[in-house]
Structure 1
Amino acid sequence: MLMELGWVWSSGLRLQLVMLTLMVCFSLLCGFGSLCVIRRAAGARPRVVSLASCVSAGVFLSSCLLELLPDYQNHSRDTFSRLGLALHFPLAEFLLAMGFLLVLVLEQMLLALREPADEVSVEKQALIEEAGRPLQRSRGPAGLRVFLLELSVCVCALLQGLSVQWDLQECVPLLLHEGLMAFALSARLSHCGLRPALVSAGLLLFSLARPAGIGIGFGFGMSVSAQVQLMRCALEGLTAGIFIHVSIGGLLWQDSASPKHRVHEVALLLTGFALGTAILFTKV
């Protein structure tokens, strides 16, 4: 009897290792494959990078509104009920708002520190306006947004991996979701003009995040203390708020070179949103 249980355990562990390895490889393939295609196409048509970034914005928006928010609300509700906490204050929404406002405060502080160095004189501004060229102002610290996007995507993937109940029927939706998110992250990092080494490091970290979370959850199981559950809920709320700010900011800060491209950008954004929604339907 013990030998049979040991064989079942070892076979299940072997199957999980195979699926986790397949998830990492598929995510890396989608990320680096899309990166190569985007950069090769951008050599002939520079607008390709911006249009691919519109698709990624739609993917992030669908993941944020249709997956991240419901999962966080359900997980926080289950955590509070499991711990016997009857709250009369919307603590889960408060943590979400704190993550959102944290990014806003950091951006405004960096802009306030940078504006004196980038301040344009009145005479120069008048000459630029007389020449018919609009004054281009920075829309925020792009480096901070890229860092927070990478951080929030990786942390969200790690925390979602901890909650995955392993089932072979969910392997295909997980693989599709990982591949689509890797494409979206690759397009967004390429649009920000990062060096190939940084883009590769970001894709590698993201590809390892969810499999690492699944492995940690499988190793520890459900034997976690109340303090760990509360810390995880707080971290998940702050990260979700950061990801919401970065995702929505990607829509608001999306550049349009000319009015004729705006319709194309909106269509591609809706395409990315539809792709993310379709993959979520496969999980039902």
Structure 2
Amino acid sequence: MDFLLQVKIGALVGLLLLTLFFGFIPARVKWFRDTNGTETHRTILSLISCFAGGVFLAACLLDIIPDYLTDINAVLQSNMMESNFPLPEFIMAAGFFMVLILERIVLNCREMSGSGDERVPLIQENRNGHGHVHGSILTPDLESSGHHVHVDFQAHSPFRSFVLFLSLSLHSVFEGLAIGLQDTDSKVLEICIAILVHKSIIVFSLSVKLVQSAIRPAWVAAYIGVFAVMSPLGIAIGIVVIEAQLAAGALIQCILEGLAAGTFIYITFLEILPHELNSPGKQLLKVLFILLGFAVMAALTLLG
């Protein structure tokens, strides 16, 4: 076994273990799962969630979309497939509408079956513009005359959390593939260190969102476990492609990347950020923590 292959296998094991470690912190620590604590406890949880929202926003705008656009434009140029139609953006839009349509189908089916668990909208208010959302129950807001809503932590949709997990997992496969396809050990180490730091923050944020979605602990553990395997799986695929000298299906990979980017846009802008910004209290502090999460990821992108 040559040194390059050893470095890749080491990167594979390191990514797996570190992702599991950071992913299981929110999933296993009771403090993160307790939504009936004190006001201070709920505020801290909300601020952590806002930080996670900033992380996902940065991952969307500074990582997933730029990587996808760079890859697909390179593939289109290499295959001399030039057109005035914005195909890369269209593929992202297809991913966006795919999640939108699937979610509406799920909600419609649950409505027809009489179940209300998934019917809490992202922004909900009564005729006077005031309301507290607790699960799927709307109660009058007698505390303020402003237009706002009170959103319970359990209002996170398990379906949207699953889509968030799915899009991040698919992106992780491509991150691992980037390591597996490298032909120098220095480049493998450089990319691996960047992904280790990046993915540790991402998986922690993902775990926080899953815990807040009222998903059963066993399913949260399964999500984190599967997510942790994705980058190593990408590395393994890259190693196989290099060792067997197979021609990679670059265009298919780019299309999948584009669909994943579109789903991530939907979840970031229609689930994560609205949930936090439409919850009452500490508004400026919430924005500050969203900016902080974004700044951390931006700094890692700049350094990496």
Look up the equivalent residue of 1:64 and give its one-letter code: C
The residue number in structure 1 matching 2:144 is: none
* TM-score normalised by length of structure 2: 0.77
Distance in structure 2 (CA, Å) of the matches to 1:266 and 1:246: 18
**What's the offset of the Cα at 1:18?**
1.6
**What's the offset of the Cα at 1:224?**
2.1
The residue number in structure 1 matching 2:246 is: 223
- 5 Å matches for 1:227-242? 228-242=249-263
The residue number in structure 2 matching 1:161 is: 176
The residue number in structure 2 matching 1:59 is: 55
1:234-258 CA distance string (max 9 Å, x none) = 2111111001111112101226553
Residues 277 and 163 from structure 1, CA distance in 2 versus in 1: closer, same or farther, beyond 3 angstroms? same
The residue number in structure 2 matching 1:3 is: none
Distance in structure 2 (CA, Å) of the matches to 1:218 and 1:271: 36
8 Å contact kept, 1:75–1:233? yes
The residue number in structure 2 matching 1:4 is: none
1:253 to 250, 275, 282: 275
Look up the equivalent residue of 2:275 and give its one-letter code: W
**What's the offset of the Cα at 1:104?**
2.0
The residue number in structure 1 matching 2:196 is: 175
8 Å contact kept, 1:62–1:276? yes
The residue number in structure 2 matching 1:18 is: 10
- 5 Å matches for 1:18-97? 18-37=10-29, 39=31, 42=34, 45-97=41-93
**What's the offset of the Cα at 1:112?**
4.4
Unaligned stretches of 5+ residues in structure 1: 1-8, 120-124
**What's the offset of the Cα at 1:171?**
2.8
The residue number in structure 1 matching 2:134 is: none
Distance in structure 1 (CA, Å) of the matches to 2:239 and 2:91: 27
**What's the offset of the Cα at 1:187?**
1.0
8 Å contact kept, 1:27–1:178? yes
* TM-score normalised by length of structure 1: 0.82
Look up the equivalent residue of 1:251 and give its one-letter code: L
**What's the offset of the Cα at 1:40?**
5.5
The residue number in structure 1 matching 2:234 is: 213
1:133 equivalent to 2:125? Answer: no
8 Å contact kept, 2:11–2:189? no
Aligned length: 265
8 Å contact kept, 2:26–2:211? no
Look up the equivalent residue of 2:194 and give its one-letter code: P
Q: Percent identity among equivalent residues?
A: 30
**What's the offset of the Cα at 1:230?**
2.3
1:271 to 274, 281, 292: 292
Deviates more, 1:207-216 or 1:49-58: 49-58
8 Å contact kept, 1:50–1:191? no
Instruction: Name segments (4+ residues, structure 1) moved above 6 Å.
Output: 135-141
2:94 to 71, 91, 98: 98
Distance in structure 2 (CA, Å) of the matches to 1:85 and 1:136: 50
Distance in structure 2 (CA, Å) of the matches to 1:108 and 1:261: 32
8 Å contact kept, 1:38–1:49? no
8 Å contact kept, 1:57–1:247? yes
Distance in structure 2 (CA, Å) of the matches to 1:274 and 1:49: 19
The residue number in structure 2 matching 1:145 is: 160
8 Å contact kept, 1:53–1:191? no
8 Å contact kept, 1:110–1:141? no
1:6-60 CA distance string (max 9 Å, x none) = xxx5232222212211111111111112444573584562343332221111111
Residues 177 and 15 from structure 1, CA distance in 2 versus in 1: closer, same or farther, beyond 3 angstroms? same
Distance in structure 2 (CA, Å) of the matches to 1:20 and 1:63: 21
Residues 141 and 132 from structure 1, CA distance in 2 versus in 1: closer, same or farther, beyond 3 angstroms? closer
Larger Rg over CA atoms = 1
